[in-house]
Amino acid sequence: MKTLWLACLLALAGEVSPLEVCRYQDILDYLNLTRNNEIFTSTRPGTDWRRPTVVHLDMYLYAILQVIEKTQTFTPFIWVYLRWNNELVSWNPGEFCGISQVAVPTEFLWRPDLGIMEHIEEMDKIFMMPYLHISHHGMVTLEDGFRVISTCKMDVYKFPFDTQSCDITFISGIYTDRDLRLQPSSNSSWLTRGSLRFLQKQGEWDFVNITVAREKISLIGLQWDSLKYTITIKRRPLLIVMHFLLPILFFLIMDLSSFLISDTGGEKLGFKVTVLLAISVLLLILNDILPSTSDQTPLIAMYCIVIFAFMLMSVLETILVKYLLDRDTIAQPSPNDDRIFQQEAGRGKSSFACVCSPGGAATCEQACPREGVTEYQVLWLIVQELRTLRGNYSTHTMGWGETRPRKWARIAGRINVAFFFLYFFSVCLFLLLLFLEWTA
Ligand SMILES: *[C@@H]1O[C@H](CO)[C@@H](O)[C@H](O)[C@H]1NC(C)=O
Ligand SMILES: *[C@@H]1O[C@H](CO)[C@@H](O)[C@H](O)[C@H]1NC(C)=O
Ligand SMILES: *[C@@H]1O[C@H](CO)[C@@H](O)[C@H](O)[C@H]1NC(C)=O
């Protein structure tokens, strides 16, 4: 009678009837679900050990944080949904004001000990979410987002026009496939669509798709169930093209255009060597980007090395042409000519001496050279000087006092033209082949 009176009073006050149990805590009390209840935490929650626990898993890509080719690590931020049935937990929502789901601290219940095979840091950093949901059927759902630092074998052959596929494999630590089955709850196209919607940050990379596959992994005579998610990403090449490929191409064009610089004098050689040095600085940057453990020589390395080799050849050609031209200028006052001049000078001296000696006059004596320099000799020195000047400024004109063209200058000119065309066509062919290979 007294309790009924109390119930009426509470109902009047707008409170729910004390006979009803509507708190979440009531469900925990009903289930005897507490932090230290070992029934729920110590063993796999099945009523028959022969029936494995099926864990449904979904993984979405949330961000691509870092991809390092050098160390072959792929660091995504992923979001994982886990769902499994706990046969020890169930209640009738009708008895609890229709509560069909309750969130409890994660450590109240058994959880599958899933790990990621490719993860290279301590596992306890992942699956840290403090709560999980239980439905009245006993379906437990857990979701968590975390960073995975995974190893990923990257193929940089086509860098920077490459596509990388990195795996993230979920596997249980101790439960073999007799106890624990892993199942994807969504198909690949669904996961890809979901990831595209969630994706926050991609950086240098474009997300392509996620595929999921179930795999059995055999170890020490036992079999494990695993779920392999393959994330495919594609590099955005613009940055590398702008900062690396184009500058090298520009240097190559500069080298090609340097054929217009005159071969005489040292400017051409200096210019070419400077361009070559600039390329070798860029090669150092490449060394920073690419991993040293590539099986195949990456195309970008080929690009650099071959262009470097082309430019080296062009420097060598310039040196050769310069050498030939120098030979011309040295060869032009040939020893033969010099001898004739010497003789001429000697003859002059003697003839002067002849003129001078018979007269014996003082004027004649003064006209004779004091230090043995005759007019012929002076003339010869002037001619010599003129010849060097002429040799320096116009190598392509005819030799001194003769009508025959300079032999070496002509050869050098031919080498120059032939080399330029050969160089130009090899460069074009090489770039074309490389481009085809790169975009294949
Ligand atoms: C609830 O669990 C505790 C151990 O955590 C146990 O001592 C107690 O007897 C259980 N109560 C019921 C009603 O099962
Ligand atoms: C993937 O799953 C979604 C819903 O989960 C479904 O609509 C779609 O048809 C499935 N696609 C394939 C290829 O099975
Ligand atoms: C994902 O992308 C890769 C590479 O583009 C392709 O080979 C594969 O078929 C794609 N998978 C799906 C499910 O679309």
- Could you report the per-residue pLDDT of 262-300, keeping only the tens digit for each? 887 788 999 999 999 998 888 888 777 776 666 788 898
Which ligand is in closest contact with the Cα of 229? 3
Is 186 a pocket residue for ligand 2 (Cβ < 6 Å)? yes
Which is higher by pLDDT, 393 or 65? 65
Is the CB of residue 364 less than 8 Å from the CB of residue 356? yes
Residue 89 has pLDDT above 80, yes or no: yes
Q: For 200-248, write each residue's pLDDT tens digit.
A: 877 889 999 999 999 999 988 899 999 999 999 999 999 889 988 999 9
Report the pLDDT value the prediction gives residue 161, as an integer from 0 to 100. 92
Q: State the closest ligand 2 atom to the C-alpha of 186, by its place in the atom list counted from 1.
A: 5
Spatial CA neighbour of 74 closest among 152, 160, 159: 152
Q: Which two tokens stand for residue 243?
A: 């900062």
The CATH number given to 239-330+414-439 is 1.20.58.390
Report the pLDDT value the prediction gives residue 156, as an integer from 0 to 100. 86
Residue 170 has pLDDT above 80, yes or no: yes
Is the CB of residue 171 less than 8 Å from the CB of residue 115? yes
Q: Which two tokens stand for residue 79?
A: 């979001």
Q: State the closest ligand 3 atom to the C-alpha of 209, by its place in the atom list counted from 1.
A: 1
Report the pLDDT value the prediction gives residue 233, as an integer from 0 to 100. 95
Residue 361 has pLDDT above 50, yes or no: no
Which ligand is in closest contact with the Cα of 212? 3
**Long-range pairs for 338-341 at CB < 8 Å and ≥24 separation?**
341/380, 341/383
Report the pLDDT value the prediction gives residue 362, as an integer from 0 to 100. 42
Q: Which residues lie below 8 Å from residue 202, measured CB to CB, with a gap of 6+?
A: 63, 64, 233
From CA 58, how far away is CA 56, in angstroms rounded?
7
Measured in Å, residue 32 CA sits from the centre of ligand 1 at 6
**Long-range pairs for 243-251 at CB < 8 Å and ≥24 separation?**
244/160, 244/282, 244/285, 244/286, 244/300, 245/160, 245/300, 245/303, 247/282, 248/279, 248/282, 248/303, 248/304, 248/307, 251/275, 251/278, 251/279, 251/307, 251/311
Is 32 a pocket residue for ligand 1 (Cβ < 6 Å)? yes
Q: Which two tokens stand for residue 242?
A: 């702008």
* Mean pLDDT rounded to a whole number for the chain: 83
Measured in Å, residue 188 CA sits from the centre of ligand 2 at 8
Which is higher by pLDDT, 388 or 260? 260
Residue 186 has pLDDT above 70, yes or no: yes
Spatial CA neighbour of 141 closest among 109, 166, 172: 109
- Rounded to two decimals, the pTM is 0.75
**Residue 227 is inside which H or E element, if any?**
strand 222-235
Q: Which CATH architecture has domain 16-236?
A: Distorted Sandwich (2.70)
Longest CA span, the chain: 173
Is the CB of residue 438 less than 8 Å from the CB of residue 158? yes
